[in-house]
Homo-oligomer: A and B are copies of this chain.
Amino acid sequence: MESSRRQIEVMANLLGSNDVQAEVNRAHFRKHHCLAINVMGSPGAGKTSLLEKSLPHLCADLQVGVIEGDIFTSKDADRIAVYQVPVIQINTGGDCHLDSKMISKVLPEFDWKAMDLMVIENVGNLVCPADFDLGEAFRVIVLSIVEGDDKPAKYPVIFRNAKAVVLNKMDLEALTDVNMENMKHDILAINPDIQIFEVSCRNGNGLQAWISWLSQEVKGYQENMI
């Protein structure tokens, strides 16, 4: 009992400290009229692919920056750098999630004069990142439908505080046993206000609705600042 109580206390301290820095980060993004989003999902859900497909459209009329979170390697940042956007790779070196202090350390690396949108791609993990506020304006979950329709009910916490969920790999729907109605029903049961997008990063279907929505969110955020 003693050791588990100590674990809980320390976890509470860590979260408290994380939340303080997250508010500092949030104030930074607000000051620069930059919408920051925290993109989370399992390994291989398609977080980086969604970014690759969205960046050419988003960059047509927005300044976009990217923070890539991974345990090891710069594979994701290398993929994003091709699109000529400023990108910083954070390697957690073992940690299963990004935290607000990691974010604060890389903020000085960007030019904030005209930044409209900062996309933070978290470590691939459907559990732990949900506990760590990074200072984002809102969260987006990417879920590969190939993971199965039972995933929202089994991993509800991460869906609870998200503004949108992008259901990816829809091109594979007919080749899996996924029941899309069950999946969407369970997501809305956890979070009735969540926006749901059904897309295929592979064939491009559904991406326009997601991109338009995100662009509108940036504009709405910036109009509220004036």
* A43:B126 contact, CB within 8 angstroms: yes
- Report the contact-size class of chain A (Cβ under 8 Å from the partner): 35 or more
Some 27 contacts from A to B, beta carbons below 8 A apart, are A3-B13, A6-B10, A7-B14, A42-B43, A43-B147, A44-B146, A44-B148, A44-B151, A70-B154, A71-B155, A71-B157, A72-B154, A72-B155, A73-B150, A96-B127, A96-B128, A124-B126, A124-B154, A127-B128, A128-B128, A144-B146, A146-B169, A146-B172, A171-B175, A172-B175, A172-B176, A176-B202
Q: Could you tell me if A96 and B94 are in contact, using CB atoms closer than 8 angstroms?
A: no
Does A156 sit within 8 A of B, measured CB to CB? yes
Taken residue by residue from 60 to 93, chain A's Cβ proximity to chain B (1 for < 8 Å, 0 otherwise) reads as 0000000000111101000000000000000000
| A156-B125 contact in complex given A3-B17, A13-B3, A42-B42, C-beta closer than 8 Å | no
Q: Which residues of A contact B (CB under 8 A)?
A: 3, 6-7, 10, 13-14, 17, 42-44, 70-73, 75, 94, 96, 123-128, 144, 146-148, 150-151, 153-157, 169, 171-172, 175-177, 202
Q: Which residues of B contact A147 (CB under 8 A)?
A: 42-44, 144
